[in-house]
Every structure is written in structure tokens, then in C-alpha cells.
Amino acid sequence: MAPAGVVGIRWHDGYAATVVDPPPTDPDAGPGVAPAGQLMAGLAAEELAAEELAAEELAAEELAAEELAAEEWAAEELMAEELMADELMADELVAGLAVEVTALAAVRSRVLVGVDGPDAAGKTTLADRLAAALGTRNVGSVKDATGAPAVIRASVDRFHRPRAERYRRGEASPEGYYRDSFDLPAMLDRCLRPFRAGAARIHAACFDHRDDEAVSASTVDVPVRAVLVVDGVFLLRPELRDQWDLSVYLTVPEQAILRRAVARDSALFGSVAETERRYRERYLPGQALYRAEADPEAAAHLVVDNTDPAAPVVRRRRIR
């Protein structure tokens, strides 16, 4: 039997609520829910509403994450398409450069082209192929009876300093490699500036670093209209960067450089281990110093990823 004043028990949403007689001061009121039961029922409703709100918020977050992922995927697809548009076969890169040089040669009598990049990046190969595409002449007389611009090849490797100067900071010094390897005044005064000024003869070399001696017969006859294609490291350092009418900077990952260096230079340095040591201690850090100080990629007219020489990728264009 229910206690006095208690009518019975009402079940509300799984919760028990005590039903009592109305207060005697309110004769018109019927049986009501006791305050304790009313609080429990309100709490249950609030918890249910909170759970529903949390579920809605979670669903909204999941939808937003899906939409963001879709946008990122679309952006990656677009970037891939843009990069693919710049992927070239090596022949196409050479042909495109030849078109640029030809356009420059149409409006000026002397054109200077610099092909820069780290060691074993493929600079010499690209410069040779470009010169061939332009109709290169061997070192010596380069006069062209047809009136077309003659093409001359040169390399910074023919403007080394003597061994004692190159290694005065130590044979393994990266700073010595960057700052002391090349006779820049000689390259400027005997080759680049005379060519630019229209000189009839220039020096295409001044020093043989293998024999560690000066080169005697290094002059080249230059016709009125000519293109000089130069390859080598550090060509976009501040002392040289303003010389180039067209400059190309090749990028290659360090591990790829090491693989190429081992294949190319192990016979020169005596072993694979010695080649790797020289590159890790001197050449690669020297290139890092160059990039940090000179930022050659920012200065170049064309930046090319030459990781795969058969399929170079143009990363940046700034053709004047």
C-alpha cells in the first residue's frame, strides 16, 4: 500500500516518478510529479538532447573532413597535371633552349648562355647538345660564311686557379671549393667581357687543372655574330650572373649526384670510397654554401630538375 498522500508510481521515459496528491492550497490541481522525479526526468531529456547534438556535430566534422580531403586530392591532381605539362624529353628541352637562343640572336649580335648546376648534374652534356643544336663549331676558327651566328663552347673548368690556391684552405674545405677554385677575373676579362664587347678573339681557356699549368694556345676567333655557350659550377654567383642572356640551373638530389660521381670519377680519384669522401666533404657542402649565399635558382632564367636526364622537368621559367 502506498504511503499516505501517495496515489501511485508513474513511469516516464524509463524513470520512476512518485505521484502525490495536490497541495491542499490548490484544490483544482490534479495529481502531480514530485520535485525529485521532475528533476530526474529533466536530466534525462537534457542528456538525450546533448547526445543528439554531439552526434550531429561529429557528423558535420566528418563531412567537413571528407570535403577537405576531396579538395586536397583535387589540388594534388591539378599540381600533378601542371608538372606533367612541364615534363619534357631531353630532345624537347634542347630544342626549346635552341629556340630561345635563336630568338635572342635575332636581336643582338652576341649571345651568352650559361648552364649551371651541381657537380655531375649533366651541365656539360646539356651545353654540348645545345651547341650542337645551334650548329656548333670546334674550338678554333668559328667564322660562318652563311652569316648565321657561330657557336662557341667554353667551360669554367678551363679557368681553374693553380692547385696551391685551390687548396689553400685545405683539400676537403667546402669554402675553398666555392671561393678559391676558379679564376673569375681571368674568365671575365679574357672571355666573357671581350665576347660581349664584340672582340674578334677571346680566350676560351686559361688553365689546365689536371696538369696544373697555364694554357698557351687558347684563343678563339669570333665572328661579328656569335653565341657563346658556357657550362660549369657556380656560374650564377654574384660576380657572373649578370653576364648571361640565358641561364639554366640544373637541380639533382644529392644521392643521385653521388651515384653519378662514383660512376664518373672513381677512376680519377682512385676508388669509390675516395670519390664518396671528396664529394661528401668538399663538393656537396660547397654546393650547399653556394645555394645559401647566391640562391642560383632565383637568379636562373630556367630551373630544370635533371634527376632523370632522359626526361627533365622544368620547375621554373623566367625567360626575358
Residue 11 has pLDDT above 80, yes or no: no
Which backbone phi and psi does 177 adopt, to 5 degrees?
A: -60, -45
Say whether both 75 and 180 belong to one domain: no
Domain with residue 212: its CATH number is 3.40.50.300
Residue 137 has pLDDT above 90, yes or no: no
Largest CA distance in the chain: 128
What nine digits make up the cell of 177?
671549393
Q: Distance between CA 78 and CA 129 in Å, rounded? A: 32
Range of the domain at 35: 1-86
Distance of CA 317 to the CA centre of its chain: 12
| Residue bearing the bigger pLDDT, 66 or 135 | 135
Alpha helices in the chain (DSSP H): 35-86, 90-105, 123-134, 163-166, 174-180, 184-187, 193-197, 254-269, 272-278, 284-294, 296-299
Confidence of residue 230 (pLDDT cuts 50, 70, 90): very high
Alpha helices in 135-253 (DSSP H): 163-166, 174-180, 184-187, 193-197
Mean pLDDT comparison of 38-47, 208-217, 244-253, highest-scoring range = 244-253
Residue at a domain's end among 86, 113, 144: 86
Say whether both 26 and 144 belong to one domain: no
Say whether both 206 and 283 belong to one domain: yes
- Quote the pLDDT of residue 203: 94
- pLDDT tens for 207-223 read 998 889 998 778 999 99
**How many structural domains is the chain composed of?**
2
Say whether both 151 and 292 belong to one domain: yes
| Residue bearing the bigger pLDDT, 48 or 20 | 48
Mean pLDDT, residues 148-157 taken together:
90
Say whether both 209 and 233 belong to one domain: yes
| Residue bearing the bigger pLDDT, 174 or 78 | 174
| Residue bearing the bigger pLDDT, 66 or 93 | 93
- Quote the pLDDT of residue 39: 58
- Quote the pLDDT of residue 70: 57
What nine digits make up the cell of 150?
657561330
Region class of 128: left (phi > 0), else alpha (psi between -120 and 50), else beta: alpha
Q: Distance between CA 32 and CA 21 in Å, rounded? A: 7
- pLDDT tens for 78-91 read 433 333 344 567 88
Q: Mean of the per-residue pLDDT values for the chain?
A: 82
Mean pLDDT, residues 293-315 taken together:
96
DSSP-based helix, strand, coil % in the chain, nearest 5: 50, 20, 30
- Quote the pLDDT of residue 46: 75
Confidence of residue 172 (pLDDT cuts 50, 70, 90): very high
Residue at a domain's end among 51, 67, 86: 86
Say whether both 139 and 170 belong to one domain: yes
| Half-sphere exposure (Cβ direction) of 91: Cα atoms closer than 13 Å | 0
Confidence of residue 63 (pLDDT cuts 50, 70, 90): confident
- Angle at which helix 90-105 crosses helix 123-134, to 10 degrees, equals 60
Say whether both 312 and 290 belong to one domain: yes
| Residue bearing the bigger pLDDT, 152 or 148 | 152
Query: Is the four-CA dihedral 54, 58, 64, 67 of positive or negative sign?
Result: negative
pTM (2 decimals)?
A: 0.70
Mean pLDDT comparison of 203-207, 218-222, 285-289, 309-313, highest-scoring range = 285-289
Order of all β-strands in the sheet with 313-317: 150-155, 226-231, 110-116, 246-251, 302-305, 313-317
Alpha helices in 168-227 (DSSP H): 174-180, 184-187, 193-197
Q: Distance between CA 320 and CA 305 in Å, rounded? A: 20
By the 8 A CB rule, do 87 and 93 touch?
no
The conformation of residue 142, written as its DSSP 8-state character, comes to -
